[in-house]
Chains A and B, each alone.
Chain A
Amino acid sequence: MSLRRLLAIARKEALQLSRDSRSMALAFAMPLLLLAIFGYAISWDIRDIRTAVWDQDLSADSRELLDAFRASGYFSFVTTVSSAAEVRRLLDRAEVRLVLVVPPAFAEDLGAGRTAAVQALVDGSDANTATIVLAYARAVVQEHSSKLRVAGETVRPPLTADARVWYNEELESKNMIVPGLVAVIMMIIGAMLTSLTIAREWERGTMEQLAATPVTRLEVVLGKLLPYVVIGMTDVAVISLAGIFLFDVPFRGNPILLAILSFFFLLGAAGLGVFLSAAARSQLLATQMAMMATYLPALLLSGFMFAISVMPKPLQLVTYLVPARYFLVVTRGIFLKGVGVEVLRTEGLLMIAFAVAGVTLAVHEFRKEIG
């Protein structure tokens, strides 16, 4: 293997890439676009839940309870209702997500030492949000309930849970999304962009020229990978820095370990892309295959947005084949948990195996023979 020939191929690929505006757009605009959308626009954090109140009791006790809801910061009272038809109308039109109903005997029950009930009607069509809304409501009621004095005594529940959240103390979804985004974006850069490289040579007829040069298969493959690995590493750095400084995502681990493991993951993804490119010999087919084989699984089956533990068993087995799944353990581990090699040993070895497998597949599939 000659380093000079390898670098010559890399230089040619980088030049070609820098003149291809749409690939460059995909390489740099896409990560920023994704970061902006995931960082600023969307989240699963539920605040300001639009709530309607139907206070049938209108007592000091019921007002205190409703104040506790308001003070929690999660609920924003948008309207009061006074009939079941209004409740129906508001939920049908999705104008509110939650309706709190305080029944007429609320204060009376409380005063008599009976358990007073509050009703929470939640729009269940978005089950995810509804589950979280109900969890908040329950917490407010419990908290308020424990402060109440019944017959001059506070009624402390016999057993309380002292809950603490680790790694992501405020339970913010951006802390889970940004480290995951590193993995998804690397799949886009690594596999989708490289899936064009060899197929382009075939489509444009420059494969004959490449075949006529003295470069070996390994030199071609590594030379073609190199510019994309550089772009990918730049993207990792940009996203990580933006995540840390713009979005206040904690970074508790070792940046060098992240860089090393990212490099191997990127090498594997890029190798996979070149493999698909060499196998498909058509840019359109290769990108579509790359999307099906790398990008969609990384997005949907890696645990990036949807927890793997929640999936049914057969699908869980499929996720073991998704390299991004392991890389996600690495990024979240380093960003949020601050763990090192001692915990990430298995994942690290898998990243190296992925890199070796990706490059081997690419070299194996890439042929210089024409016809």
Chain B
Amino acid sequence: MTKGGLRRVGVLVRKEFLQLARDPRLRRVLFLVPIIQLIVFGYAVSTDIRHSATFVVDFDGTAEARRLVEVLESSGYFDVVGRSRRPADLVRALDHGDAVLGVVIPTGYADDLSRREATVQLLVDGTNSNVATVVLGYAERIVNGHGIAAAGAGVAPPIELRDRAWFNPDLDSRDYNVPAVVGVLILVICFMLTALAIVREREIGTLEQLMVSPLTPLELVMGKAIPFALIGLFDLVVVTGIAVLWFRVPFAGSPLLLLGSSLLFLLSGLGLGLFVSTVTRTQQEAFMASYLLFFPMILLSGFMFPVSSMPALFRWISLANPLRHFLEIVRGIFLKGVGLAELWPQHVALAVLGVCLLAVAAARFEKRVG
């Protein structure tokens, strides 16, 4: 590009920033969306299920039975919200959603326990399958452990599982989710805003004015894309900073690598935005179209639902999703501290997807403009 071209791009970038600064709606999108996402995924999404509401039906009524309930409660995982001697009360509590777990202690429990053959019944509300799996796991472990402790020596289980979680020893889901917000945010900013910014010129009719200016189509695209790329990188720094300083998410890898792969990822975001701007006429349409693309991309990226749980067909489809590759990179860098030696396939995929998307979109754009 010539020196004049560089200057023209610079002027356009400046104009975009001025326009952005004067549009309160865009400012809201730029700052509100990242904050809401960080709050929700930093605070709301957790698998650490404590204080599950528990309903106890105690037919035995002995001190032994009470001790079992105490053990459940003192674990911190279960809060007893109701006790009764009638099973119908338990059914009502589960039907109303007042309790997630029901513990039924049968008559003769204390006697059975002294003979080492006691059983208690656990009823779990399975409507939220996730919560139910975890709650059931905790309850079974505590009940079995209590039995062994209560029976004294000589009944240790023959085999014991010693588990260790790598990369995230506390199994804190925040550490997994917050870094991924970085990827989603860069996508929102580059993709949606690029599309909106270009379509707005068309809608207001100022695209013609830009066309008669000495800007070439390439310079026009660059001038439109650079401001959002810069904002995307700025958001990257802010979100990473909040993640590390506020949410205490470990950052084990190289910040430089994160910056580099974010630049690669930006290519895809800008390419998609440019593409959407060539197939829509109004900001409204651009908004809807980017939304229709954006939502499946997030769902099929492994952001909330693991890619490994998808059927094979969708696993293949997700290979064409730049967000999937970027999330693997971001999580690898944050949690595992791995580098290019492990993450090169994702980088290659991002580069290929980015260049292809950008090339297709730029070709369409030039045709429509020219």
Interface positions of A (Cβ within 8 A of B): 22, 25-26, 29-30, 33-34, 37-38, 40-48, 50, 65, 91-94, 97, 110, 115-132, 134-135, 137-139, 141-142, 144-146, 148, 150, 155-169, 171-173, 175-176, 196, 283-285, 287-288, 292, 296, 300-301, 303, 305-307, 309-312, 315, 329, 332-333, 336-337, 339, 343
Contacts and interface: CB of A to CB of B under 8 A. Distances in A.
B116 A141 contact: no
B104 to A, nearest CB: 9
Given A118-B159, A158-B151, A161-B143, A166 B124 contact: yes
10 contacts: A34-B295, A45-B129, A92-B336, A110-B158, A120-B164, A137-B163, A163-B136, A165-B132, A167-B126, A168-B126
Given A125-B168, A132-B134, A329-B97, A155 B155 contact: yes
A47 B310 CA distance: 10
Interface string B13-43: 0000000000001001100100010011001
Interface stretch (B172-180, B233-241, B349-357, B358-366): B172-180
Nearest to B280: A22
A333 B98 CA distance: 12
Contact of A284 (B134, B146, B283, B308): B283
B224 interface: no
B147 A145 contact: no
- Among A118, A124, A155, the one with the most B-chain Cβ atoms within 10 Å of its Cβ is A124
A127 B155 contact: no
Given A171-B132, A284-B25, A287-B287, A125 B300 contact: no
B281 to A, nearest CB: 10
B121 A164 contact: yes
Contacts of A137: 161, 163
B159 A162 contact: no
Among the interface residues B28, B127, B137, B150, which one has the most CB atoms of the partner chain A within 10 A? B127
Contacts, number: 317
Given A115-B158, A135-B137, A121 B166 contact: yes
A161 to B, nearest CB: 4
Contact of A117 (B137, B162, B166): B162
A58 B59 CA distance: 48
B49 A309 contact: yes
A168 B130 contact: no
B144 A159 contact: yes
B130 A119 contact: no
A291 B165 CA distance: 38
B120 A161 contact: yes
Contacts of A129: 306, 308-309
Contacts of A50: 308
B146, B157, B336 — most chain A CB neighbours (10 Å) = B157
Given A171-B133, A301-B40, A115 B163 contact: no
A158 B122 contact: no
A306 B46 CA distance: 8
A159 B173 CA distance: 32
Nearest to B106: A162
Nearest to B48: A310
- Residue in A110, A116, A135, A287 whose Cβ sees the most chain B Cβ within 10 Å: A135
Nearest to B163: A120
B130 A166 contact: no
A124 B168 contact: yes
Given A138-B137, A288-B287, A333-B95, 6 more contacts: A127-B165, A127-B173, A141-B159, A145-B158, A168-B132, A310-B47
Interface residues of B, number: 100
A168 B127 contact: yes
Given A122-B163, A309-B51, A164 B176 contact: no
B284 A91 contact: no
A118 B124 contact: no
A42 B132 contact: no
Contacts of A22: 285, 288
B118 interface: yes
A125 B177 CA distance: 9
A236 to B, nearest CB: 19
Given A138-B161, A159-B144, A300 B40 contact: yes
A21 B115 CA distance: 73
A309 B28 CA distance: 30
Contacts of A145: 157-160
B52 A127 contact: no
A166 B304 CA distance: 25
Contacts of A115: 156-160
Given A92-B338, A166-B124, A176-B129, A44 B309 contact: yes
Given A42-B299, A92-B342, A158 B314 contact: no
Contacts of B176: 125-128
Pick the most buried of A41, A50, A65, A288: most chain B CB atoms within 10 A of its CB. A41
Given A115-B159, A130-B165, A309-B131, A162 B119 contact: yes
B125 A167 contact: yes
A173 B309 CA distance: 11
Given A124-B171, A158-B148, A165 B124 contact: yes
Interface in B208-257: none
Contacts of A163: 121-124, 136, 139-140
Contacts of A124: 165-169, 171
Nearest to B307: A42
List the 7 closest A-B pairs by CB distance, nearest first: A159-B147, A124-B165, A168-B126, A135-B137, A124-B168, A42-B305, A158-B151
A159 B96 contact: no
Nearest to A118: B161
